[in-house]
A and B are shown apart, each in its own frame.
Chain A
Amino acid sequence: MLPNRLDQARPFVTLAVVFLVWLFVPTLVKRFLRASFFEFQAPIEATTSAVRDLQDYWSLRTRSKNELIEEGKQLAHLNANYETRLVEYNSLQARVARLEALLRLPSYPEYRSEAARVVRRDFTAWWQRLVIRKGQNYEIPVGAPVIFVGGVVGRVVEVGAYTSVVELISSPGVRIAGSLEGDTRPISFQGGLNPAFGPARGVVEFVPLDIFANPATPKRLVTSGLGGIFPPGLNLGQIVKLEKGGDGLFQTGEVALDPRLISVSEVAVLVPLDRRSSQLTDTPTVTPSTPARR
């Protein structure tokens, strides 16, 4: 009976040996394999995204002219509003430059914003990621912050030739230094609670005891600028629940993220214009209308 049993165990022994050998395979080989398979997947994802855009185009073609005229009017209103904001923005930028010159302050590094379409959303319980349709061809760097109309989306974790992977702030592995709007004390934010059929949530730690928040009176959490990845003042979410922590010195709580985050289809990647200076300072500013470079 023994040889028969050994014969049955042979595939498992082989698998165990292969597994052990795999553990000692150099990381470079593994990274090369991963990158190769990733690049094979990229055209498939880009094609499906392009087909989706084509479907949207043909569905929009079925709309009546009156509807399009109405949409055009609304867009014209929006454009007028944005143009006014742009003038205000330019005047504020000029004032900042004047003050910097007057006080001899070091100038903050700037970003160019690179708009990108979302190719694939992958929101599991253990990771929350987006694949966007821009990569090395648009000089997207690893670690670049990604934003959308509702605030922070996440940061770029992988860059391929034509696509990039963005890890969302709702992903359990993401930690960001935040602060309350109008407050400078740092608060630790971590993503992680992603219940089914509901918006993503995060958790906050090290919240000072004098801060109160509940669903009726939530507190807005923004990026603090510490760490040097995210510019300060970007919206992270609303603190909706706070309770005293185990040590009694700080509070912990829940953060409701923007509900539009889980259906986002267009994002903007903030690419540092001067990589070296962005690493040296930790309070960068954003230039939203800088032209994109290929």
Chain B
Amino acid sequence: MKRASLLIFLANALLWTLQSQLNHYIAPWNLTVFMGGLCVAFASLRLSSRDGTRALLLTGFWFDAATPVPFGLHVFLFLLAHTIISLLRSRIAREETLVGLLVAVIVNLTVMIAISAALLHRNPAPLEMWPRLVADSLISFCAIVLIGPWAFAFQERLLQMSGVSLRRDPRGMV
């Protein structure tokens, strides 16, 4: 199932490209979109634990290479989120788009907060940044809600077209 990891990584790279293009166009308003949570959600909810880890390892490195954060920070945060979701996913309706969106939004916000906490020391006036962070979080939320359903459908169809069947585990209480 190495093919599944590679395909999901490529789909995540496409999502990153969309994100970077969106950021390029909204830069004059001093706003930023982050969609890392969307990359984590599908890999963690739909792939096997090992495939998800492989896909998110590559995705994390991809995000790290484009940002001036300690190399490996995105990898660590993505894998941590993946580990937590992997433990909880048998209890939730993980095939549902709405659940996927909810997970993506929560992971996205958590990762954004974690990155902000890691880079807090860089800003001369960090307390004055919270309106900007709220604005970035809101716009990222809107972007995930708008793009999320398409992204999930695209990744699922990509795997189907490549002959990879997604395992549907029996689940417990929702």
Contact = CB atoms under 8 A, between A and B. Distances in A.
Interface stretch (B35-43, B98-106, B126-134, B143-151): B126-134
A126 B27 contact: no
Interface in A1-59: 8, 11-12, 15, 18-19, 22, 30-31, 33-34, 36-38, 40-41, 44-45, 48
A126 B49 CA distance: 32
B68 A129 contact: yes
Contact size range, A: 35 or more
Interface string A260-288: 00110000000000000000000000000
B66 A33 contact: no
A121 interface: yes
A200 B79 CA distance: 34
Contacts, number: 122
A10 B17 CA distance: 34
B122 A194 contact: no
B2 to A, nearest CB: 18
B135 A37 contact: no
Nearest to B20: A120
B65 A8 contact: no
Nearest to A262: B28
Contacts of A33: 61, 65, 71
Contacts of B154: none
B57 to A, nearest CB: 9
A269 B132 CA distance: 30
A127 B132 contact: no
Interface of A: 8, 11-12, 15, 18-19, 22, 30-31, 33-34, 36-38, 40-41, 44-45, 48, 120-127, 129, 157, 167, 172-173, 190, 192-200, 203, 262-263
